[in-house]
Amino acid sequence: MSHTPRSRTAVGCTLLAVALTTAVPGCSSDGNPLSATPYDASDQIAFNAPSGEGKKADPDKPLEVTSEGSDGRITDVTAIDATGRYVAGELSADGARWHSTEPLAADAHYTVRVSTEDEDGAPGRRVLTFHTGKPTTKKTLDVTFGPKTGTYGVGQPITAELNKPVKDAAQRAVVERALKVTSKPAAQGAWHWVDDKKLHYRPKEYWPANATIQVRSNLENIKIGDRLWGGKAKSLKITTGDSVIAVTDAAAHSMTVYKDGEEIKQIPVTTGKPGFDTRNGVKVVLGKEYFVRMRSATVGISEGSSDSYDLPVYYATRVTWSGEYVHAAPWSVGSQGSANVSHGCTGMSTDNAQWFFENIREGDLVQVVNSAGQSMEPFGNGFGDWNLAWENWRTGSALVAGKPDASDPADRARLRPQSV
């Protein structure tokens, strides 16, 4: 090899003894070779990516970096493309080889920085740039994030809709690894595959109040499968407001509303009567409608039967797609606080419904306890995501399924929903 780190170090230290103020390559002012200026490791490091003019690397092949010879080793490799995407990789225990563990992007410009050390511990460095080629034929996997930009409650999940199904576990891992969610304040979270074309993301606990959440995709030009490549995706930014959680005790016929952990209001309510019991569990507010015309026929009740109805309803807050609301029910004020007489919705006086309507937002949480009804489904009828315990939620991730959680075991054993 052409570099001479040992002779460079020796000369530097000799000069250092003569003039301590002189900057000397190859040795730091404290004589520590690890803090020395790196030597050029070009002849010590080899790549499998072509770097010549007009040459392009095959994005289908992993990037490999190897140490040539026996008097040096690789200590670190950083590979990043022009958009700021890092490439994950693995370094062998002996420092002889590093290889990428996720696909390279097609038609991308990469910069690779390799750090080395020789047998005396002197640091070296090599920087390589290269381009990847374009795929000859491809299908594009596009991602659409939800909800829309805005401010939501602390229970709002993030959604990712794919334009094509992804069934293979390895391909799901590629997709999921490229979907990035960050929040300030930080919150531990994970993606969950609802089906082959839809993912939901939620934290272990609810989002922090007044947080900023940003979502983006790094999938563009990343190979996912045979002729399937990642497409562009519009990033998403949402914020959360105060933590607002409404807990309805169906047995006590009462709703208690909490804001940032403090009780702010108790409301007499009526919930579903026997045979139409309100669902237990945590529900996320889906939207608000000042006026809704509710017809029993839309939920399978025959017109003309004793349970049929056709009513104008005001201040309606939706919590399921099948038609469960929190709303004004002036016709049942006499039963509110003492009996359950509705067909599944949570009814209250018009004044209380207006207050609730004006103090609740999409993404806030409505939890029902002590009802004889079935439990809220995790998916398909709104956002029941919080009804899965964290360890069960994690099993829906292609990246963390089956892996142990690093948090406290007692915390992992806790199930949702929880009483407030």
As its CATH architecture, domain 5-132 has Sandwich (2.60)
Catalytic residue among 192, 200, 327, 343: 327
Collapsing DSSP states into helix, strand and coil, what is residue 298?
Answer: helix
Euclidean distance between the first and the last CA atom of the chain, given in angstroms as a whole number: 68
Q: Where in the chain is the domain with CATH 2.60.40.3710?
A: 139-240
Q: How many residues does the chain have?
A: 420
Give me the phi and psi of 212, to 5 degrees please: -115, 125
| pLDDT tens digit at each of 420 positions of the chain | 444 444 333 333 333 333 333 333 444 444 555 556 888 988 889 999 887 677 899 888 899 999 987 778 999 999 999 989 999 999 999 999 999 998 899 999 999 999 999 888 899 999 999 999 987 667 999 999 999 999 999 999 999 999 999 999 999 999 999 999 999 999 999 999 999 999 999 999 999 999 999 999 999 999 999 889 999 999 999 999 999 999 999 999 999 999 999 999 999 999 999 999 999 999 999 999 999 988 766 666 767 676 677 789 999 999 999 999 999 999 999 999 999 999 999 999 999 999 999 999 999 999 999 999 899 999 999 999 999 999 999 999 999 855 555 444 433 333 333 322
* Other C-beta atoms lying within 10 Å of the C-beta of residue 110: 21
Catalytic residue among 3, 200, 343, 345: 345
Q: Give the torsion through C-alpha atoms of 401, 407, 410, 414, to 10 deg.
A: -50
Q: Give the torsion through C-alpha atoms of 4, 6, 11, 15, to 10 deg.
A: 130
| Domain 244-387 top-level CATH class | mainly beta
345 catalytic residue (yes or no): yes
Alpha carbon distances (Å) from 163 to 20, 140, 145, 232, 342: 65, 9, 12, 12, 40
* Other C-beta atoms lying within 10 Å of the C-beta of residue 38: 16
Give me the phi and psi of 242, to 5 degrees please: -65, 160
Strands (E), 211-324: 212-217, 223-225, 228-230, 236-240, 244-249, 254-259, 262-268, 281-284, 287-295, 310-318
Of the candidates 25, 75, 69, 62, the one whose C-alpha atom is nearest the C-alpha of residue 46 is 69
Q: For domain 139-240, which CATH number applies: 3.10.20.740, 3.90.1140.10, 1.10.579.10, 2.60.40.3710?
A: 2.60.40.3710
Say what the pLDDT of residue 400 is: 83
Q: Where in the chain is the domain with CATH 2.40.440.10?
A: 244-387
| Global confidence as pTM | 0.77
327 catalytic residue (yes or no): yes
